Amino acid sequence: MKRLFISLSLICIAVASFAQGVTGDWYGLLKVPGGQLHLVMHVTKTDAGYTATMDSPDQKALGIPMDKVSFIDNQLAIGWSAGGMTYTGTFLPDSNKVNGTFKQGPGSYPLNLSREKSGVAADRPQDPKEFPYHQEEVQFTNSKAGNQLSGTLTLPSTGKPKRIVVLISGSGPQNRNSEVALINHRPFLVLSDYLTRNGIGVLRYDDRGVGKSNGAFGSATSADFADDAEAGVNYILSRPDLKSMAVGLIGHSEGGMIAPMVAARNKNVKFVVLLAGPGIPITELMVKQNEDMMLLGGANNESINTAKGTIRTVYGVVISNSTLSNSLLKQKIDSTLSVSYLKTNTGGAGGAKLTSNDFAAVLTPWFRYFLAYKPADNLVKLKCPVLALNGTLDKQVNAEANLAGIQAALTKAGNKRFEAVAMPGLNHLFQTTSTGSPNEYAELTETFSPVALAKVTTWINQL
């Protein structure tokens, strides 16, 4: 999902930037227990000094703003107060590199930056090279927020299509192609092309604050993104040449959570496709995600169980104190973790003491809303046809648990027109893989499994 594998969030939520010879884009590989993360730092010089943002493309988290950036005597210092993160490094003009150390919470790791992209495949064979169908640049407005969204409408060149879909991206700021530049994959471009070639219209759009769309991404919640997606539905219905088509939603990851939110309240949505969409309470999904990521990294059961207990404790505090301000919630987390530490480490001995800085992500508006969400609340309202697909090697949204949750909710709804299908050997991005590790996303040349593409397309066309 867009926003961070919580198992790595203690060490990877941010990093960043430089100037003069240090301005521009920098690339690094952060090696941490349990895996590695590609990071991209974008550094800009202003009249007031330096600013920076960071991308963590493996996690599909883009444009994270840094709030402390300085560059003095070739010494770079980056800070993100909310994330409890610092990066300090030495700029080496001769080699055009920055060698330094990344710190977050109790973790401290070497992080060297260079101008060279790492882990990017030169070619993605599924990217379309020609477009034998109608393409149109479009704009539409979310009247609730007042922001304008820009996207691409594609329509088959022969015959009048009976169905059209709105694509809803997963977590993190993404453009209409759901593109992550460093891993060089454009899954929504590939999906859109396949659907359109097979007789289905598609509207895909840049997230608010991304590409040609305006609006503030950083302060938005999943509910706000649902309003953006519904604006796409309303736009289609407003056009005389499109309004006779059956409108459906295809959501990936968090988009698979947003699609039911829209369909539950807007009866103009005639069908829904959930790609790695959540079906269990988000707190449990995130705990399972943490466990699976730690298992990939070779962690032992004791470490995993300790982490699960801590995460559940913090999440419980966040959910049960939904009306508290961030500053008061931060204090509540700190006091709870302090008591938990004393109980676990008799006499003060034992593991590292965690604080709210190690869980800074939970204080954002998006995460606070996200953690409290229960997918079943909207799934039980769906009467339209639903297709739910998950890869059996998805380590972010566990296929078995979430498909079972989706199936249980739709059965409770009395919905007799749904399928919940586990796709063997596919990861969270629906790539054919061997482990499901996010570290493989960039290494795989396949962008989207042809088997999954065919399943989605055939199911829609047979409605």
Average confidence (pLDDT) over 237-261 = 97
Burial class, 268, CB count within 10 angstroms (exposed 0-12 / middle 13-18 / buried 19+): middle
Average confidence (pLDDT) over 304-314 = 91
Task: Tell me the C-alpha distance between 403 and 395, whole Å.
Answer: 14
**pLDDT, the chain, mean:** 87
Alpha-helix runs per DSSP H in 239-375: 255-265, 282-296, 301-320, 326-344, 365-371
- Position 180 pLDDT exceeds 80: no
- pLDDT in the model for residue 105: 66
Percent of all residues in the chain with a pLDDT value above 90, rounded to a whole number = 59
Task: Tell me the C-alpha distance between 296 and 127, whole Å.
Answer: 30
**Where are the chain's structural domains?**
6-114, 134-281+373-461, 282-371
Select the highest-mean-pLDDT range: 16-20, 98-102, 267-271: 267-271
Task: Tell me the C-alpha distance between 96 and 438, whole Å.
Answer: 29
Which pair of tokens denotes residue 288? 């399972």
| Of 282, 286, 257, nearest in space to 272 by CA | 257
- pLDDT in the model for residue 348: 42
- Position 438 pLDDT exceeds 90: no
- Position 122 pLDDT exceeds 70: no
Report the interhelical angle of 301-320 vs 326-344 (nearest 10°). 150
Task: Tell me the C-alpha distance between 192 and 203, whole Å.
Answer: 8
| Least confident among 78-87, 227-236, 297-306 | 78-87
Cα–Cα distances in angstroms (integers) from residue 240 to residues 35, 232, 237, 267, in the given order = 51, 15, 7, 19
Regarding predicted confidence, which is higher, 115 or 144? 144
| Of 274, 291, 247, nearest in space to 396 by CA | 291
Query: Is residue 262 within 8 Å of residue 231, measured between CB atoms?
Result: no
Query: Is residue 41 within 8 Å of residue 49, measured between CB atoms?
Result: no
- pLDDT in the model for residue 96: 84
Query: What residues contact residue 158 under an 8 Å CB cut-off, 6+ apart?
Result: none
- pLDDT in the model for residue 33: 63
- pLDDT in the model for residue 67: 82
- Position 347 pLDDT exceeds 50: no
Average confidence (pLDDT) over 54-69 = 75
Burial class, 185, CB count within 10 angstroms (exposed 0-12 / middle 13-18 / buried 19+): buried
Instruction: Tell me whether strands 418-423 and 386-391 are parallel, antiparallel or unpaired.
Output: parallel
Cα–Cα distances in angstroms (integers) from residue 58 to residues 29, 186, 245, 455, in the given order = 11, 13, 36, 26
The domain made up of 6-114 is a member of CATH 2.40.128.120: yes
Q: What is the pLDDT of residues 381-398, one digit of tens each?
A: 999 999 999 999 999 999
Same fold, 6-114 and 134-281+373-461: no
Record the pTM.
0.79
User: Which fold does the domain 134-281+373-461 belong to in CATH?
Assistant: Rossmann fold (3.40.50)
- pLDDT in the model for residue 182: 64
Backbone angles phi, psi at 179, to 5 degrees: -85, 135
- pLDDT in the model for residue 106: 65
Which pair of tokens denotes residue 30? 């952060």
- pLDDT in the model for residue 37: 79
| Least confident among 106-115, 129-138, 258-267, 291-300 | 106-115
Task: Tell me the C-alpha distance between 211 and 139, whole Å.
Answer: 12
Regarding predicted confidence, which is higher, 74 or 1? 74
Band of residue 102 on the pLDDT scale cut at 50, 70, 90: confident
Per DSSP, 138 falls in state E
